[in-house]
DNA sequence: CGGGCGATTGATTGCCTTCAAACGTGGTGG
DNA sequence: CCACCACGTTTGAAGGCAATCAATCGCCCG
């Protein structure tokens, strides 16, 4: 999912208002409405009609599912530039909430569907998007199924560092969000951070700020 | 992924040799070569060029990823009628092996790609397939991230019972496969089976045969 | 300065894994 | 046809890692 928007957004030949549309290929950008959501607001809920496709302009959102007894699993975080909310069924199969205050672009799903039906390039862009999300979901399954606590946290940090293309991370999400993404508890996540700092793999200037000091050490931890 | 092939395979208006093609919508079936693989054979490996798309005629296959230190995670099982191997990148991002001896149909990926580029219905079928796999992968992530051992096994059995549309299941996979799918060990899986039999939720006439006696009890276990 | 919330740290529990051994079944060779 | 072997499965006992329970810390905001 990551690389893709960069490519199409920068490669678009059609002039368009920056940020006010979603690109589905170099020759096709669908314009949409800009909306603001505040921290912890629900953007859409599981089971609701899937009426829009979204792109993050600023802020972070989380895609979540809740078990019948209340446990929460975060399926993905979406950062600026990323698209989410694409569904095939009539209804959303998960909920999305704002991790921080954020700006989103909304495009009617009917418009996206029509574009995909009429324009092969648009259809291909949708396929690309889904394939990328699928790949992410599978990588996530590997982490959840077969890795220990500190490996999970290391994988998470490396993933963020790649996405942000920087070793200095501003975590927009709480320990609780990280824990629910990694299938752990907040205490375990916290201990993993502390241990990594002790081992000089990262610095923790504050709880929301992480500096990756030794990416190789993190990668090794992740592999462990 | 499940419902889809049934729909298109039965709804196809075009007459075609049963089993020798892959349907991508009511009006489009791509013919392919039939191949046999024996138990535990590798169908394709992670990193190899993605040259074909596959459909299962008979038998079961497993999609797997291996961590650098050798732990194995099974991402999905594919049963007869299901399609797998669809990738967007040039190379496969996971391996697929035969769980049992099986018959597959192979269609050149270039043909699928071209069909999708030219025929909107075909493109839509591909999107549907990916969306369905994504949905499955996310459900799997919820299980791996937030459920206990017996809940995982219950979820697995219910999933198979739905796919097979029957309460009598012939497990084509070993305890090791189930364990690697659920992120557990073979011993834990075995104990979960035993406990479910003790609680009269299932019968175990043999280790590879499961009769779901009390689906509600299993569903409750799963939710727990 | 005080309150509240998120994060950290510590102590204990519990579930799953690990290690180990016995069991059963299917296949092979005598 | 039976004996034996191999492998997958089950069962048991012990250990380890993360969850839970609990308390303190630190920071942001009022």
3-state secondary structure of B62: strand
- Arithmetic mean of pLDDT, B119-126: 90
Contacts of B132 (CB under 8 A, 6+ apart): A88, B1, B2, B3, B4
Please judge whether A131 and B87 are an interchain contact, meaning their C-beta atoms are less than 8 angstroms apart.
yes
pLDDT digits (tens, 9 = 90+) for A3-37: 333 333 332 333 344 457 877 666 567 788 999 99
Nearest to B102 by CA among B147, B157, B57, B168: B57
pLDDT interval class at B5 (50, 70, 90): very low
Q: Which neighbouring-strand residues pair with B108?
A: B52
| Residue that has been written with the tokens 């669908």 in this structure | A30
Distance C10 C1' – A187 CA (angstroms): 11
Q: Which residue has the higher pLDDT, A183 or B119?
A: A183
Closest residue to A88, CB basis, from B65, B131, B182: B131
Distance D19 C1' – B132 CA (angstroms): 33
Find out whether A150 and A221 touch, Cβ atoms under 8 Å. Answer: yes
Q: What is the predicted pLDDT for the residue at A55?
A: 97
For B164-193, letters b (16+ CB in 10 Å) and e give eeeeebebbbebebbbbbbbbeeebbbebb
Q: Which residues of A touch B183 (CB under 8 A)?
A: 144-146
Q: What is the predicted pLDDT for the residue at B22?
A: 78
Find out whether B124 and A123 touch, Cβ atoms under 8 Å. Answer: yes
Q: Count CA atoms within 13 Å of residue B58 on its CB side.
A: 10
3-state secondary structure of A209: strand
- Arithmetic mean of pLDDT, A52-65: 97
The answer to whether A185 CB is within 7 Å of strand C is: no
- The tokens of B22 are what? 């892959």
The answer to whether B29 CB is within 7 Å of strand C is: no
Q: What is the predicted pLDDT for the residue at B7?
A: 33
pTM for this entry: 0.91
| CA–CA distance, A47 with A65 (Å, rounded to integer) | 11
Q: Which of A71-80, B1-10, B29-38, B55-64 has the lowest mean pLDDT?
A: B1-10
pLDDT digits (tens, 9 = 90+) for A191-218: 999 999 999 999 999 999 999 999 999 9
Contacts of A117 (CB under 8 A, 6+ apart): A123, B120, B124
Q: What is the CA radius of gyration of chain B?
A: 18
Q: Which residue has the higher pLDDT, A118 or A148?
A: A148
pLDDT digits (tens, 9 = 90+) for B35-58: 999 999 999 999 999 999 999 999
pLDDT above 90 (res A142): yes
Percentage with pLDDT > 90 across chain A: 80
Please judge whether B117 and A127 are an interchain contact, meaning their C-beta atoms are less than 8 angstroms apart.
no
Q: What is the predicted pLDDT for the residue at A4?
A: 36
| CA–CA distance, B55 with B61 (Å, rounded to integer) | 10
pLDDT digits (tens, 9 = 90+) for A61-114: 999 999 999 999 999 999 999 999 999 899 999 999 999 999 999 999 999 999
pLDDT interval class at B27 (50, 70, 90): low
**Which stretches of A165-203 are DSSP H helices?**
175-182, 186-198
Average predicted confidence (pLDDT) for chain B: 89
pLDDT digits (tens, 9 = 90+) for B131-169: 999 999 999 999 999 999 999 999 999 999 999 989 999
């Amino acid at each position: 999912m990551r690389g893709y928007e960069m490519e199409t957004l920068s490669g678009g030949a059609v002039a368009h208002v920056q940020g006010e549309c979603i690109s589905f290929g170099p020759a096709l950008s669908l314009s949409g409405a800009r909306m603001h959501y505040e921290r912890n607001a629900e953007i859409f809920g599981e089971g609701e009609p899937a009426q829009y496709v979204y792109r993050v302009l600023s802020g972070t959102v989380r895609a979540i599912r809740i078990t019948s007894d209340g446990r929460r699993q975060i399926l993905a975080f979406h950062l600026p530039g990323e698209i989410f909310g694409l569904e095939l069924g009539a209804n959303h199969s998960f909920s999305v909430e704002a991790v921080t205050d954020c700006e989103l672009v909304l495009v009617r799903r009917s418009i996206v569907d029509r574009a995909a039906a009429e324009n092969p390039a648009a259809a291909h862009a949708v396929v690309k998007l889904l394939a990328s999300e699928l790949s992410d979901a599978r990588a996530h399954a590997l982490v959840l199924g077969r890795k220990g606590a500190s490996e999970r946290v290391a994988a998470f940090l490396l993933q963020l560092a790649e996405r942000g293309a920087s070793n200095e991370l501003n975590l927009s999400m709480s320990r609780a969000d990280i824990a629910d993404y990694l299938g752990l508890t907040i205490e375990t996540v916290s201990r993993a951070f502390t241990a990594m700092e002790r081992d000089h793999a990262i610095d923790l200037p504050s709880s929301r700020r992480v500096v990756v000091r030794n990416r190789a050490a993190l990668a090794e931890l992740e592999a462990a």
